[in-house]
Amino acid sequence: MSDEKYIFSAGAKKNIFIVLAVGIVLAVLGVIMINSGGHHDAHGAEHAVEAAAAHGEHAAHGAEHTAEAAGEHHAAYHWTHRLKANLWINNLFFTGLAIIGVFFICIQYVAQAGWSVGVKRIPMAMASFLPIAAVLMIVVWLFSNHEIFHWTHAGLMDPDSPEFDPIIKGKEGYLNFGFYMGRMVAFFAIWYLLFIQIRKNMLAEDLEGGTNRWKKLVGLSAAFIVFFGYSSSIAAWDWVMSIDPHWFSTMFGWYVFASWWVTGLAFITFVAIQLKDKGYLSVVNSNHLHDLGKFVWGFSIFWTYIWFSQFLLIYYANIPEETIYFVERLKSDYYSKIFFINLIINFVLPFLLLMTRDSKRHARILKVVTPIVIFGHWLDFYLMVTPGVLKENGGFGFLEIGLMLVYGATFVYVMLHSLAKHPLVAKNHPMYNEALHHHI
Q: What is the DSSP string of 57-93?
A: HHHHHHHHHHHHHHHHHHHS--HHHHHHHHHHHHHHH
Band of residue 219 on the pLDDT scale cut at 50, 70, 90: very high
Lowest mean pLDDT among 51-65, 70-84, 350-364: 51-65
Output Rg (C-alpha) for the chain, integer angstroms. Answer: 22
Say if residue 350's pLDDT is above 80: yes
The pLDDT score that the predictor gives to residue 35 is 86
The pLDDT score that the predictor gives to residue 38 is 56
Give backbone dihedrals phi and psi of 390, rounded to 5 degrees, phi first: -100, -10
**Does 339 or 62 have the greater pLDDT score?**
339
Band of residue 418 on the pLDDT scale cut at 50, 70, 90: very high
10 Å CB burial of residue 277 (0-12, 13-18, 19+) is exposed
Element (DSSP H or E) covering residue 387:
helix 363-390
Burial 31-49 (b: 16+ CB within 10 A, else e): bebbeeeebbbbeebeebb
Cβ atoms of 264 and 123 within 8 Å: the answer is: yes
* Measured distance CA(181)–CA(161) in Å, rounded: 25
Say if residue 229's pLDDT is above 50: yes
The pLDDT score that the predictor gives to residue 257 is 97
The pLDDT score that the predictor gives to residue 437 is 86
The pLDDT score that the predictor gives to residue 248 is 87
**pLDDT averaged over every residue in the chain:** 90
Band of residue 412 on the pLDDT scale cut at 50, 70, 90: very high
Lowest mean pLDDT among 85-89, 191-195, 265-269, 320-324: 320-324
Quote the percentage of the chain above a pLDDT of 70. Answer: 90
Band of residue 66 on the pLDDT scale cut at 50, 70, 90: very low
* Measured distance CA(147)–CA(95) in Å, rounded: 21
The pLDDT score that the predictor gives to residue 54 is 45
Give backbone dihedrals phi and psi of 415, rounded to 5 degrees, phi first: -65, -45
Q: Is the pTM of this model over 0.75?
A: yes
| Average confidence (pLDDT) over 241-252 | 92
The pLDDT score that the predictor gives to residue 78 is 83
Cβ atoms of 392 and 43 within 8 Å: the answer is: no
Cβ atoms of 288 and 8 within 8 Å: the answer is: no
Say if residue 77's pLDDT is above 80: no
Burial 59-69 (b: 16+ CB within 10 A, else e): bbbbbebbbeb
Say if residue 404's pLDDT is above 70: yes
Could you tell me where the DSSP H helices lie in 278-362? 286-317, 320-330, 335-343, 349-353, 357-361
pLDDT digits (tens, 9 = 90+) for 134-184: 999 999 999 999 999 999 998 898 888 888 999 999 999 999 999 999 999
The pLDDT score that the predictor gives to residue 291 is 95
Band of residue 2 on the pLDDT scale cut at 50, 70, 90: low
The pLDDT score that the predictor gives to residue 14 is 97
